[in-house]
């Protein structure tokens, strides 16, 4: 659930530069092409799988896990992955790696504090995503969450002074219209195979709030990265640390009594661990797509994931697809593709 955005937050890892695959000059284009399609396939599976697994994990019968603890575990996984990457970047030299971490957290502690704001907002966003997908059908949530494109565009204009083309504004208007149609039709296009009480109003408020958090935190993080020589892997270690600390405090503040009574990992099943893992490492897949493909194919992967999640929801959750849902969904997918087209 972190653009990743996302639940859903791959935004923190989206812009990472992945190392080129080792290959001879003659074979490199072919390898890159293969990596592109593999990455796209995995991204489609990750986007659809995250919505479906999270929806199932939060609405299944039996004791439900504490979502705030899942946010903490996802931050630990992401931070661990980035720590491993920096270890290899330092030539697998443990001494150099420790020195690198000392520079980050001791010597340049003031610089590390800069990421505290986006880390906190990402933590709030991830918690909101769990609330949203616990109250909205998986397909409806996935479509509605694309509204983060609009919020990111608005914050990019106001905070970074970026220019949005007329075509992109038209795409954003199409996006908003499509999501509005989906939400108006949400009652008819509901899921039947659900064991928990649902609140469409609460779910929509949560997803809109998550989109605002995603847009602001993503643009704020981009602003921090500009003019900084710190690598994105290092920045994400900093984000992971603050995300872990604020998430841990938030989980005990929000669910402290339940954690004390039942334990931190109450309700954790293999499905829950899969959900957390998909959420944690989704941003790495986005990074691979950006490296070996482009934003157009990334937009295509997003649209394909929406279609895949909708189709699977019919069989898993008995989701009822209506004509208005198809119209609204088509508008959203078209908007995502149009917005991702390169500027002339």
d(CA 68, CA 131): 10
The string of pLDDT tens digits covering residues 134-145 is 888 888 888 889
pLDDT score recorded for residue 196 = 65
Nearest to 56 by CA among 315, 321, 317: 317
pLDDT score recorded for residue 25 = 46
Inter-residue contact 158 to 211 (CB < 8 Å): no
pLDDT score recorded for residue 3 = 42
pLDDT score recorded for residue 17 = 38
Report whether pLDDT(307) > 80. Answer: yes
Compute the radius of gyration of the chain from its Cα atoms: 20
Inter-residue contact 206 to 147 (CB < 8 Å): no
pLDDT score recorded for residue 62 = 83
Nearest to 39 by CA among 288, 341, 282, 246: 288
d(CA 77, CA 72): 9
Distances (CA, A) of 163 to 24, 160, 173, 190, 336: 40, 9, 16, 38, 18
d(CA 312, CA 243): 32
Q: What is the pTM of this model?
A: 0.81
Relative orientation angle of helices 67-89 and 94-102, to the nearest 10 degrees? 120
pLDDT band at 2 (very low <50, low <70, confident <90, very high): very low
Inter-residue contact 8 to 67 (CB < 8 Å): no
Inter-residue contact 135 to 206 (CB < 8 Å): yes
Weakest mean pLDDT among 38-42, 128-132, 165-169, 211-215: 38-42
Average per-residue pLDDT for the chain = 81
d(CA 221, CA 231): 13
The string of pLDDT tens digits covering residues 210-250 is 999 999 988 888 887 776 677 777 888 888 889 899 999 99
């Amino acid at each position: 659930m972190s653009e990743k955005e996302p639940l859903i937050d791959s935004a923190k890892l989206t812009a990472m530069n992945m190392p080129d695959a080792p290959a001879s000059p003659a074979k490199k284009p072919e390898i890159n092409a293969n990596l592109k399609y593999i990455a796209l396939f995995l991204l489609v599976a990750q986007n659809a799988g995250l919505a479906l697994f999270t929806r199932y994990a939060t609405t299944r019968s039996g004791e439900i896990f504490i979502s705030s603890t899942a946010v903490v575990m996802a931050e630990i996984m992401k931070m661990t992955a980035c720590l491993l990457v920096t270890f290899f970047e330092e030539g697998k030299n443990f001494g150099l790696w420790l020195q690198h971490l000392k520079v980050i957290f001791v010597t340049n502690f003031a610089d590390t504090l800069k990421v505290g704001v986006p880390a906190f907002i990402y933590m709030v966003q991830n918690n909101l995503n769990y609330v949203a997908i616990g109250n909205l059908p998986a397909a409806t949530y996935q479509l509605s969450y694309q509204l983060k494109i609009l919020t990111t565009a608005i914050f990019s204009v106001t905070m970074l002074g970026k220019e949005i083309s007329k075509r992109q504004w038209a795409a954003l208007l199409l996006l908003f219209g499509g999501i509005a149609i989906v939400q108006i039709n949400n009652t008819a296009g509901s899921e039947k195979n659900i064991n928990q009480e649902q609140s469409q109003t609460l779910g929509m408020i949560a997803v809109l709030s998550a989109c605002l958090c995603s847009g602001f935190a993503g643009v704020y993080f981009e602003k921090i990265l500009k003019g900084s020589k710190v690598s994105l892997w290092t920045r994400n270690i900093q984000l992971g640390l603050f995300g872990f600390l604020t998430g841990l405090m938030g989980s005990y503040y929000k669910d402290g009594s339940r954690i004390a009574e039942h334990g931190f990992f109450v309700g954790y099943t293999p499905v829950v661990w899969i959900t957390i893992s998909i959420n944690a490492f989704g941003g790495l897949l986005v990074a691979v797509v950006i490296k070996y493909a482009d934003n157009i194919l990334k937009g295509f992967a997003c649209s394909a994931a929406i279609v895949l999640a909708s189709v699977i929801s019919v069989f898993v959750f008995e989701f009822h697809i209506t004509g208005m849902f198809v119209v609204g969904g088509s508008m959203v997918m078209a908007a995502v593709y149009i917005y991702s087209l390169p500027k002339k």
